[in-house]
Structure 1
Amino acid sequence: MTKGTIDMADTSGTDLPDNWGRWGADDQLGTLNLITDEVRAKAAAEARTGQWVSLAQPITPDAMFFSPFLPEMAHTSPVQQMVSHTGGPVAADLSLIYNHHFKSTHLDALAHWSTDGQVYPGRPTEEVVTPLGITHASTAAFAAGIVTRGVLLDLAVEGPVPPAYSVTSHDFEQAEKRQGVEVGSGDALVVRLGWTGRGPEDIPTPGISIDAVRWMHRRGVAIIAPDRGDAHPP
């Protein structure tokens, strides 16, 4: 996916957020540890109507055997399918190939990214990412689901955020005041930038500045879910 523009001018300080080792050498949850039983109970108590809203981008499967990463297939679905007969008179079988890093709503495992040859919270990448699968910090760590309060901060009330715009802590705080909400520890921060779909490759997308990352760290955000780019436990 096209990554957002990051405000690199704000990286010179020594107070960059760092959660490696915060919850021990065997941790696989990262900031999801901030979602305590108390946080979940408070989140459940805020439910009023019971109405549910999907935040997932819609997917229409394509026929199989096309790679979504080929330039000429830029609009191919991340889900490819093939239907075959099972040999019975009426039954058919459905085969699916799903590449969730391509044009689809997804949540990465902490093992998805490595830094200086290490994967969170400090394990060698070659020991974690193996041909037989991920040995630590995979999505299995939160396979039972994530339940917490979600707070939507709408930054696109006047239209989509401009290309290459670096979202700052001021943007977040202005949205809080505008909406009468406050982001707290253990919350899932849902950010609307007004950007959906893949979009043209030659147009830089908005991104989250280091200043905004520090703000999320101070507030104790458990996970950020924007409508453009990847979502990660910070």
Structure 2
Amino acid sequence: MRWNNRPEGSNWGDFGADDQLGRPNLIGSEQVLKGAREIRAGLSFCLSLPLDVPGENKLNPRRHPPVLRPTSRDGLPYVNFPFARTEPHATDVISDDQVLLSLQYSTQWDSLAHVGARFDADGDGVPESVYYNGYRAHTDIVGPVEYRADDGFEPHVCGGEHSHADVLGIENLAVKGMQGRGVLIDLVAHYGNAYRTIGYDDLMSVIAADGVQIERGDMLVLRTGFAEMLLAMNRQPDEAVLNSHCCALDGRDERLLQWITDSGIAALAADNYAVERYPARPPVEAGEHPLLPLHHHCLFKLGLPLGELWYLRDLAAWLRANGRSHFMLTAPPLRLPGAVGSPVTPIATV
């Protein structure tokens, strides 16, 4: 066992001592069939933004738009490349490209290696940097430097320049498939684009008003209107406007977090940035606390993947017009071993 002490309210070990999948374990054949039974009209909706949206790097200075470049052959760009250069009688013209891509720039899944915490998993009174199910920073999730608590988290060079999640990488979700029944909660239909931090009471009010049924193994999707507003900005995001509009979940609301635990949902996605309100409101009690409390609860404690910046307007309009909230959701990430996040092109089928 890699831990002697698990966080209060976590499910570490419940799916096995070496589990790397977390709550998507709840998506079994029954949940996939439930999703399939929601296909009645034969219509599909793309739930991804163009992957060069938001535009610029204002929403996160570390994340930049994708850069496309051609591959090369003999020092020449391999776009509109005539094979006749090397094979005189060939008629083929070939284009081949590559991309420099920040994996969590646009519509995305977070892997369980995305957010961990300083926590005393050993039970010896000294916190370690750990992730879901007790997997360790610098041992299981590795990078070019190591940050040590004993010297104020100064970086120590480990060699190389690469990173790799040897466990909990995004490939686990890809192999799982992330296909099953999706459930939409349309916050825009009730709160418009008003700035509102959604706690338990607000969420339950919308669920009750729309008669939304949420069952174990469902993937929950929240529409806040953020992605629609962002898309209208045409790759020139206005931070002041974005920061003063739209709903986001209240990660400090303990009742909301407990509901996420009790609901049995297998994944949580939204059309906004981070799903939760950031910065979060101050905690009730002083002392150490996560700055991303919803990420802490979902990724670190429950192994519940988070999706961000999904595009939901067209699906939401169709579902409301047809008196529905459920659909078949197919949303596998890239099968990129060792990545801590991934672009995704979710498809809703109704």
CA 1:100–1:132: 2 relative to 1, 3 Å: closer
String of CA shifts for 1:63-86, please: whole Å, max 9, x gaps: xxxx954x6x98x96221123523
The equivalent residue for 2:206 is 175
| 1:153 paired residue number | 185
Equivalent-residue separation in structure 2 for 1:172 and 1:158 (angstroms): 10
Q: Which residue of 2 aligns with 1:127?
A: 139
User: How much does 1:161 deviate?
Assistant: 4.6
Equivalents in 1 of 2:249, 2:12: separation in Å? Answer: 20
Contact 1:159 1:194 survives alignment (8 Å): no
1:152, distance to aligned residue in structure 2 (A): 0.4
CA distance in 2, matches of 1:93, 1:46: 39
Per-residue deviation, 1:179: 2.1
Kindly provide the amino acid, as one letter, of the partner of residue 179 in structure 2.
V
Where does structure 1 lack aligned partners over 5 or more consecutive residues?
1-14, 62-66
Distance 1:121 1:57, change over 3 A: same
Quote the offset at 1:136 in angstroms.
0.5
The match for 2:100 is: 97
Greater strand content: 2
Residue equivalent to 1:8: none
Question: 1:155: Cα distance to partner?
Answer: 0.8
Q: 2:66 aligns with which of 54, 61, 79?
A: 79
Q: CA deviation at 1:118?
A: 0.3
Deviation per residue, 1:178-223 (Å, 9 max, x gap): 2222111111111011112355068267432233222121111111
Tell me if structure 2 keeps the 8 A contact 1:114–1:120.
yes
| 1: CA distance, partners of 2:201 / 2:43 | 31
2:138 maps to a residue whose letter is E
Note the 1:188-207 alignment, pairs <5 A: 188-196=219-227, 197=230, 199-200=238-239, 203=243, 206-207=247-248
- Does 2:99 match 1:112? no
Distance in 2, matches of 1:190 and 1:132, equals 30
- Is residue 192–residue 226 contact of structure 1 (8 Å, CA) maintained in 2? yes
Q: How many residues align?
A: 210
Q: Is the 8 A contact 2:224 2:248 kept in 1?
A: no
Q: Pick closer, same or farther for the CA change 1:220–1:161 going to 2, 3 Å.
A: farther
Aligned equivalents of 1:54 and 1:215: distance in 2?
A: 29
TM-superposition CA deviations, 1:31-51 (whole Å, max 9, x none) = 111112222222212321121
Q: Calculate percent identity across the aligned residue pairs.
A: 26
- Check 1:199–1:36 CA distance in 2 against 1; reply closer, same or farther (3 A cut): farther
Q: 1:159 to 1:170 in 2, by over 3 A?
A: closer
Between 169-178 and 30-39, report the one with greater CA deviation: 169-178
Query: Are the counterparts in 2 of residues 110 and 120 from structure 1 also a CA contact under 8 Å?
Result: yes
Q: Give a deviation string over 1:129-159, Cα, whole Å, max 9, x none.
A: 2245211011111213111111100111145
Q: Distance in 2 between matches of 1:153 and 1:175?
A: 7
Query: For 2:133 and 2:213, how far apart are their aligned partners in 1?
Result: 29
The one of 213, 218, 226 aligned to 1:187: 218
In structure 2, stretches of 5+ residues that fail to align are: 1-6, 72-76, 86-92, 119-128, 143-161, 231-236, 276-298, 306-350
Quick one: structure 1 residues 132 and 156, their matched pair in 2 at CA, closer, same or farther if it must change by over 3 Å? closer
